[in-house]
Amino acid sequence: MTDEKLLTPLEVYKMLEKTNCKQCMLPSCLAFAVAVIGGQKHLDDCPHLTRSVKNALSGNLQKRSTADPLQPEFLEKLLQKVQALDFTAVAQERGCDNDADVMRVTSLGKDFYVDRNGVVRSQCHIIPWVEVPLLSYLCHSSHQQISGRWISFREIKGGIDWRGLFQSRCEIPLRLLADRHPELLSDIVELFQGKEVEGFDADIALVVHPFPHIPILLCYQAADGDMESELNIFFDECCAMNLHIKSLYTLCAGLVKMFEKIALNHY
């Protein structure tokens, strides 16, 4: 087994029987491997895994979970930083609106409001994967405007160490989701003010803005004959300066979870 920092669904998949028996209630062994890494399934959900294989995998899976961001501690630090912000200056620099002691930030077409105590309010349900990256976006020490140049996750500082987790909880689950529900990506344009773009080698290429200066590009190529489907997530070069790597990961993983819930409820 490779170092836990690089643990991916494919490494779990190699240990499975690859019969696609569906007894785990998922369509394939690869989908099961993705769900195990993501925490939606347990090794015991596969009836074919031997005890020795479970023991070999479980130790690495437990270690892998420690790579997730420590949200409570991180959030506490962010709340302290918010209180020291110059709201007017930050709003102008980061594409937000400032009214007295409240900052309005648009996320995927929805408005979120942040007061000087770091309290986030919105008509939407406030969940950690939005709240923590949002505060991190406002408090980050550096900031750049949108460049129009796209980079991969691994090109961002710290991205190489996080690439296995990013692939297993962001790119691979979203690819499988798009395989099952091809219409989902197109619906994102309408639901979250995404924008389809051209000039990319993909069936669907669309840009979403979780925050004003955090453009994310989703490129999906459907399966064709013996060629498997492919989905890649790219970031405008400014994202590397505007948000910490942990918050970028949290943001993308949260987006995928949200898309999964939409697919479950509407397709």
CATH classification of the domain holding 48? 1.10.15.40
Choose between 228 and 2: higher pLDDT: 228
**Residue 64 pLDDT > 60, yes or no?**
no
Residue 26 has which token pair? 């998922």
166 in the same domain as 221: yes
| Residue 75 and residue 61 share a domain | no
Tell me what pLDDT residue 85 has.
Answer: 94
**Given this model, what pLDDT does residue 8 score?**
64
Higher pLDDT, 56 or 267: 56
227: pLDDT strictly greater than 50: yes
240, 242, 246, 249: CA torsion to nearest 10? -70
pLDDT over 70 percentage in the chain: 89
Q: Which of 20, 48, 65 is the last residue of a domain?
A: 65
pTM value is: 0.74
H/E segment holding residue 95: none
Per-residue pLDDT, 69: 45
Confidence band, pLDDT 50/70/90 cuts, at residue 10? low
- 46-71 exposure pattern, b = at least 16 Cβ within 10 A, e = fewer: beebeeebbeebeebbeebeeeebee
pLDDT confidence of residue 152: 96
pLDDT tens figures, 172-223: 999 999 999 989 888 888 889 999 999 999 999 999 999 999 999 999 999 9
* Region 135-162 average pLDDT: 94
CA separation for the pair 192, 185 (Å, rounded): 10
- Same structural domain, 121 and 76: yes
Asked if the structure places residue 248 within a domain, the reply is no
Residue 66 pLDDT > 60:
no
CA atoms within 13 A on the CB side of 195: 8
pLDDT at 240: 96
Tell me: pLDDT of 67 over 60. no
Please identify, among 50, 65, 80, the residue that sits at the C-terminal boundary of a domain. Answer: 65
* Residue 247: inside a domain: no
Residues 132 and 234 in one domain: no
Same domain membership, residue 208 and residue 124:
no
Rounded distance between C-alpha atoms, residue 201 and residue 213, angstroms: 24
Predicted local distance difference test score (pLDDT) of residue 38: 66
